[in-house]
Amino acid sequence: METIYDVIILGSGPAGLTAAIYTQRFGLKTIVVAGRAWGGQLMLTTDVENYPGFAKIQGPELMKRMRDQVEGLGVEILDVDFSKIDTTKQPYMVTTGDKTIESKAVIMATGADTRWLGVPGEEKLRGHGVSSCAPCDAFFFRGKPVAVVGGGDSAMEEAQVIAKVSPDVVLIHRRDKFRASQAMIDKVSSMKNVRFLYNTQVVEMLGEDKLTGLLLERDSKRWVLPRDGVFVAIGLNPNTKNFTGLELDTHGYVKRYESRAETGVLEYFTKTNVPGIFTAGDVHDARYKQAVTAAAFGCMAALDVQRYLAMKGYL
């Protein structure tokens, strides 16, 4: 007879692994479908200096410590991708290759991937001057000239953060008008150390061991903008392509439904539109996008799962 788990956790970034720590400690039979590229965005990050408890740690090392803790608790981890989840009936069935796993509850913690420009030099220089998170990496560019690429609210937010430490910020947008809200545009425009380049595209990121500049193009003319750092802020792609049956918002993120008991007390914070399926981390969080907030959502999802299973009489 096939094992029916109490909870399947899809994803192995800070949200998924934190959830696993809690569900296992609750005594719930837990399995993590980690993905072939396990660990989430922190596996692509060099220095992490804003995660509590670590003054400075490499992203992959932080994730390895989380994983070691989860495995030390006896949680089963599969380093495979899942191809399908059947949300039409319980127990829920998750398909990974030729294997099907069943569980009474599911936590979706598959994260979101940065939408990169895809230009030469970008991949090679990630973590060496190329970043997608000013709140994470602004510290490394204090006193240095940087650029931000994008035209939406996220780009404006990145520019505001980095402008607090950089004396020279150039915001590069490929169109002649920003998509960001006017209030955000006005706020960034008022910053004396920020200037805009419209109708301009990044053609290449330059440098061998670290970023030295950007090759830009406008009206078929090209020139080099010397920069020590560049923040790509053109959006994220939430990893939801196999989430049939789950309601997504207009940007493709999993919709989260808070629910309250008749007394008004918050009952669930991380539930989705499907009973017994919960969500955690960047797959639903388009705002904060930090490792520590993802971990917090993982904790909340685990608490919600424990409550849900108890209310259903499964525990």
**pLDDT for residue 288:** 87
In whole angstroms, give the CA distance from residue 258 to residue 269. 5
In whole angstroms, give the CA distance from residue 133 to residue 135. 6
| Sheet-wide strand order for 201-206 | 201-206, 213-218, 221-226
Burial 57-73 (b: 16+ CB within 10 A, else e): bbbeebbeebbeebeee
Task: Give the DSSP per-residue string, 131-152.
Answer: ES-HHHHGGGGTTS-EEEE-SS
Q: How far out from the chain centre does Cα 74 lie?
A: 26
Q: How many CA atoms lie within 13 A of 238 on its CB side?
A: 23
Contact indicator for 211, 125 with CB cutoff of 8 Å:
yes
| 4: enclosing H helix or E strand | strand 4-10
Sketch the domain layout of the chain as residue ranges: 4-113+236-311, 116-232
Distances (CA, A) of 41 to 44, 47, 127, 133, 256: 6, 13, 12, 11, 22
pLDDT (tens, 9 = 90+) of the chain, 315 residues, equals 478 999 999 999 999 999 999 999 999 999 999 998 899 888 877 778 889 999 989 889 999 999 999 999 999 999 999 999 999 999 999 999 888 999 999 999 999 988 999 999 999 999 999 999 888 889 999 999 999 999 998 899 899 999 999 999 999 999 999 998 899 999 999 999 999 999 999 999 999 999 999 999 999 999 999 999 999 999 889 999 889 899 999 989 999 998 887 788 888 999 999 999 999 999 999 888 899 999 999 999 999 999 999 999 988
Q: Which two tokens stand for residue 4?
A: 């029916």
| Residues with active-site annotation | 133, 136-137
Q: Do domains 4-113+236-311 and 116-232 have the same CATH topology?
A: yes
Q: Please give the single-letter amino acid code of residue 248.
A: L
Q: Which two tokens stand for residue 262?
A: 């008749």
Q: Which two tokens stand for residue 56?
A: 């400075």
* CATH code matching the domain that covers 116-232, chosen among 3.10.20.600, 3.90.420.10, 3.40.50.620, 3.50.50.60: 3.50.50.60
**pLDDT for residue 269:** 95
Query: Which residue intervals of the chain are DSSP H helices?
Result: 14-25, 59-72, 134-137, 153-163, 182-189, 291-311
Q: Which two tokens stand for residue 37?
A: 């590229």
Closest listed residue to residue 253, CA positions, set 210, 288, 203, 202:
288
**pLDDT for residue 43:** 85
**pLDDT for residue 1:** 44
Closest listed residue to residue 238, CA positions, set 247, 229, 226, 228:
247
**pLDDT for residue 71:** 98
Q: Which residues in 191-280 belong to E strands, given as ranges?
A: 194-197, 201-206, 213-218, 221-226, 229-232, 236-238, 257-260, 266-271, 277-279
CATH architecture of 4-113+236-311: 3-Layer(bba) Sandwich (3.50)
